[in-house]
Amino acid sequence: MSRRRGMMSESFKYELAKDLGFYETVKEEGWGAIRSRDAGNMVKRAIELAELQLAKQNNRS
C-alpha cells in the first residue's frame, strides 16, 4: 500500500507546530509523538488560514 502525499508542506506543518506550541515535541520525537488533539488543532488552524486566504482573494476580485 502506498502512502498518500501530504496536503501541507513540511515547512508549513513546522510553522503551525511552532504557533500551536508543540514544535519541540515534533523536533525531538517526530510527528508520531504529538497528541491527537494537537494534530486536530493543526488541521483546524490550517483550514482557518486557507479560508482567510480565500476570503482575501475573493475581496480582490
Is 14 contained in some domain?
yes
Q: What is the pLDDT of residue 4?
A: 65
> Do the domain assignments include residue 20?
yes
pTM of the predicted model, to two decimals?
Answer: 0.79
pLDDT tens digits along 12-61: 999 999 999 999 999 999 999 999 999 999 999 999 999 999 999 988 86
Is 30 part of any domain? yes
**Spatial contact of 46 and 8, defined as CB atoms under 8 Å apart:** yes
Residue span of the structural domain in which 29 resides: 10-60
Q: Is 55 inside a domain boundary?
A: yes
Q: What is the reported pLDDT for 2? A: 52
Report yes or no on 26 lying in a domain.
Answer: yes
Cα–Cα distance measured from residue 36 to residue 42, given in angstroms and rounded to the nearest whole number? 10
Domains held by the chain: number: 1
pLDDT score, position 1: 47
Is residue 3 pLDDT above 80, yes or no? Answer: no
Higher pLDDT, 8 or 61: 8
Q: How many CA atoms lie within 13 A of 40 on its CB side?
A: 3
Please report whether residue 2 resides in a domain.
no
User: Residue 12's closest CA among 47, 37, 36?
Assistant: 47
3 falls within a domain: no
What is the C-alpha to C-alpha distance for residues 3 and 40, in angstroms, rounded to an integer? 20
